[in-house]
Amino acid sequence: MFRALQQLHEFATSYNLLLLLEGGARTLVLSAAGCVCGFVLGFALAVLRHTAAGWLLPARILGVVYVEMFRRIPFLVTLFLVFYAFQALGLDVPVFWVAVASTCVIGTAYLSEVVRAGFAAVPRAEWDAAATMNFSLLQTLRFVVVPQAWRVVVPPAFAFFLSFIKDSALASQIGVVELTFVGKIFNNRGLMPAIAFGSVLIAYFVISYPLARLGARLEGRLALSRAH
Amino acid sequence: MNYTPHFGQITRYLPYFCGGAAVSLLLATLAFSGGMVIGLLGAMAKTSGGKVLRRFAGAYVTFFTNTPALVQVYFIYFVLPSCGIVLDSFDAVLLGLTLNSGAYLTEVQRAGFASVRRNEVEAAETLGMSRRQVVWYLVVPHIVRTLYPPLTGQFILITLGTSMGAVFGVEELTGRAFSVNAETFRSIEIFTVVGAMYVVVTILASLLLTIAGRSLFRARVSVF
């Protein structure tokens, strides 16, 4: 017990706290960058899957295969796949960007499904009406679909981002110095594991909990505004 | 790009990988079962427990759903030995995954409990059904049918989550990929094959669960 208190005192240096802060920031930036990129590509994929042109059929099939595939591969395996793919291509990419790219790969698959659910919430008749009025696909999306679909899309997309703050912990395995890696540094430095990983758990909680509350409020308010 | 993939070199490891997939599924099944029990207790505590129980279940769910499963397992793996409890890596990962999935499954099952409509229960009581009959013929089938699809989804997520066992040296599918990688350095080929195996295994699992759910509980599930 005395040892724990003493170690806690040793642990509470500005250097260690700064390391935690830096790790937390990297976790956040990693998840955010990956999810934004995944959302953009996922949106494009959802639009692609919504098209009806015959010549796009192979692309649509590829899209379905992509989504079903990457939703069934563990993030850890995707990380290593992307890592070694960059290596095989002879590209020297920092591990941070490997992790962002992996998040993006997975995010595209999951978020395209989220966007598709949003598209499905807009009645077919409105798509047809827009087409009848000679709206282009972009115009239909901009003026008809997105203004209605975003309420359906935002809560689950935000939930995905939240889940990735936690899943990005696996990026520590390819050497990204995010929160979990900081915990490993503490542990390797000989700090008590309870302090090393306990502090990291608390740090994750401090990041994730307010965002989870925000997400729940967002969902509640959007559900309310949809009811009107 | 001057890399030529050689899948031929790893074909002899396929049976080894299949064994790994079996370990992954075993780990997932055990963690899911344990998580279901915890989740049932948690959901009961949250819906009909006293103030203390409710608070406790709430704190458990909030803590475990807001921290990464990987760090939870790190904590279990490194901290429990200093309390005199030494777990091997399989047990540590299993315990971590069970506690983690228990938190998510608490929320899933609570939502299932909440979906039972008050007036259906009242209608059954009006028909003269006893308390036991109401639970057995109305509440349980209803809960099973509404919960089945999200639960199969959770099972697949847990199966994917077991890949973190590799970090602690558990010889499941990803763990075996790591060891074969260290032997052959055919990294890209190995992780492609292992990724494909996860796809096949989870599709098979979804297929089985869908067939079982549709025939046993008339649940509205689909594979994709």
pLDDT tens-digit series, residues A2-40 = 777 787 877 778 888 999 999 999 999 999 999 999 999
Query: Is residue B98 within 8 angstroms of chain A, CB to CB?
Result: no
In this prediction, residue A142 carries a pLDDT of: 93
For residue A94, name the pLDDT band (cuts at 50, 70, 90).
Answer: very high
- In this structure, which topology does domain B12-217 adopt according to CATH? MetI-like fold (1.10.3720)
Per CB-CB distance under 8 Å, the chain B contacts of A82 are none
- Which 8-state DSSP code applies to residue A145? I
Query: Is residue A166 within 8 angstroms of chain B, CB to CB?
Result: yes
In this prediction, residue A1 carries a pLDDT of: 65
Q: What are A118-159's pLDDT values in tens digits?
A: 999 999 999 999 999 999 989 999 999 999 999 999 999 999
- Say whether pLDDT at A226 is over 70: no
Q: Which of B203, B205, B201, B182 is nearest to B193 (CA)?
A: B201
Q: Decide if A69 and B199 are in contact by the 8 Å CB cutoff.
A: yes
Q: A217 by DSSP, 3-state: which?
A: helix
> Cα separation of A69 and B155, whole Å?
17
**Does residue A225 or residue B121 have the better pLDDT?**
B121
> Cα separation of A135 and A4, whole Å?
68
Quick one: CA dihedral B155, B157, B163, B164, positive or negative?
Answer: negative
Tell me the pTM: 0.91
Per CB-CB distance under 8 Å, the chain B contacts of A170 are 70, 164, 167
In this prediction, residue B115 carries a pLDDT of: 85
In this prediction, residue B78 carries a pLDDT of: 93
For residue A52, name the pLDDT band (cuts at 50, 70, 90).
Answer: confident
Cα B31 to Cα B1, B53, B102, distances in angstroms: 42, 23, 8
- Say whether pLDDT at A91 is over 70: yes
B182 near B171, Cβ under 8 Å? no
- Say whether pLDDT at A43 is over 90: yes
B93 near B170, Cβ under 8 Å? yes
How is chain B split into domains, by residue range? 12-217
**Sequence-separated (6 or more) residues with CB below 8 Å from residue B4:** none
Per CB-CB distance under 8 Å, the chain B contacts of A172 are 70
Average pLDDT value for chain A: 92
Closest approach of A196 to chain B, Cα-based (Å) = 9
A110 near B160, Cβ under 8 Å? no
B117 near B51, Cβ under 8 Å? no
Q: Where are the alpha helices (DSSP H) in B50-186?
A: 51-65, 69-79, 89-114, 118-126, 131-133, 140-161, 173-184
Beta-sheet strands, E only, within A35-176: none
Residues of chain B with pLDDT under 50: none
**Sequence-separated (6 or more) residues with CB below 8 Å from residue B7:** B189, B193
- In this structure, which topology does domain A17-227 adopt according to CATH? MetI-like fold (1.10.3720)
Question: How large a percentage of chain A has pLDDT more than 90?
Answer: 77
Listed range (A99-108, A182-191, B31-40) with the worst mean pLDDT: A182-191
Residue in B3, B71, B202 closest to A183 by CB: B71
Query: Is residue A212 within 8 angstroms of chain B, CB to CB?
Result: yes
Q: Decide if A74 and B160 are in contact by the 8 Å CB cutoff.
A: yes
Chosen from A84, A165, A202 to mutate, greatest number of chain B CBs within 10 A: A84
Q: Which of A95, A100, A87, A97 is nearest to B185 (CA)?
A: A87
> Cα separation of A126 and A146, whole Å?
12
In this prediction, residue A228 carries a pLDDT of: 52
Helices (H) and strands (E) in chain B, counts: 9, 0
Say which residue the tokens 């089938």 belong to.
B141
Closest approach of B169 to chain A, Cα-based (Å) = 13
For residue A225, name the pLDDT band (cuts at 50, 70, 90).
Answer: confident
Query: Is residue A131 within 8 angstroms of chain B, CB to CB?
Result: no
